[in-house]
Amino acid sequence: MVRAFRLAEIAERLGGEIAGNPEVSVYQVATLENAGPGHISFLSKSRYRRLLATTRAGAIILSSADRGATSIPRILCEDPYLYFANVSRMFNPEQQARPGIHPSAVVDADATVSPGAQLDAGCVVGAGAHIGDGVIIGAGSTIGERTHIGRNTRLHARVTVYQDCEIGQRCLLHSGAIIGADGFGLARDGESWLKIPQIGRVLIGNDVEIGANTTVDRGAIDDTVIEDGVKLDNQIQIGHNVRIGAHTAMAGCVGVAGSATIGRSCTVGGGAVILGHLSIADHVNVSAGTLVTKSISAPGTYTGAFPADDHKSWLKNAAHLRGLDAFARRLSALEKKERTK
């Protein structure tokens, strides 16, 4: 059951200034459009300001500059969206482990499972694996041999972690995530392909979140490394020997090819592709749908998407693009001729 909090209690925990009745009680967060009297909402973007006139929210989180934008009881702060995130965490705390092993779970005799861990129905834990205190292993998940899962990490149902991988503390892995599958390592052998054994591991730091159906391949020789605080959305592919720096976030359907190195505190928009063996500097923002074909050595925002247009115009522009090389050669020749006059 969700507990209600008075605005005074929220501000005492999280800071901020209260304008209006501090005794107003709220029990959940909601959008301005859908909030009711028991909800607290927030305004962080000016395009939603019009909703302040019609919202039924019991309280609102605003920036200090918007103090007079409404008479509804409100908490004033520097960053309303961050403050909202912390309030939501108050109302919706993370699930805590209910210690115990379900009778249908299969745990190898050589595995170590903390008495404070929770293993749900149908789990499989391989020989030599270590499951830390407060860990939750969801139904049907598989933990490979000699794999280490750190304290208070949660795996939702049907997560697969292959052998010899390491996952740090307070991580969250969503259903369908696969950690440590073979990288795409092949050598040409005449008309066929020879598989190269993938003998590296996957090493995941603390406070990492990995989305549903995201795959992180093990290294070919060295390890694939996901540093502390990385956030990976759903359906992302991380190739072998990739290294992702701390606190980098990637949106859905990103693809990172083998041996790429991504810096710290980067963002990668949905559907972007980063080719193999490239290096991306710290604090780089890659826009959605961008194809990164060369290393990026300086922080900043990089965009390579070709915007959508009506089909006829798009075909015409694409034809122009195909002719750019010939046009550039003609222009260069004209400039050279002009210089020799």
**pLDDT tens sequence across 40-63:** 999 998 888 999 999 999 999 999
Q: Are 290 and 272 in contact (CB under 8 A)?
A: yes
What is the predicted pLDDT for the residue at 46? 85
**What pLDDT does residue 21 have?**
95
What's the rounded Cα separation, in Å, for the pair 291 and 105?
A: 43
pTM above 0.85, yes or no: yes
Residues of the chain with pLDDT under 50: none
pLDDT of residue 328: 87
* pLDDT value of position 308: 86
Q: Please report the pLDDT score of residue 325 as a whole number.
A: 87
What single-letter DSSP state applies at residue 52? G
What HEC string does 220-278 produce? CCCCEEECCCCEECCCCEECCCCEECCCCEECCCCEECCCCEECCCCEECCCCEECCCC
Report CA-CA distances (Å) from 115 to 89, 128, 130, 196.
27, 16, 12, 39
For residue 1, the model assigns a pLDDT of 63
Q: What is the pLDDT of residues 124-156, one digit of tens each?
A: 999 999 999 999 999 999 999 999 999 999 999
As annotated, the active-site residues are 240
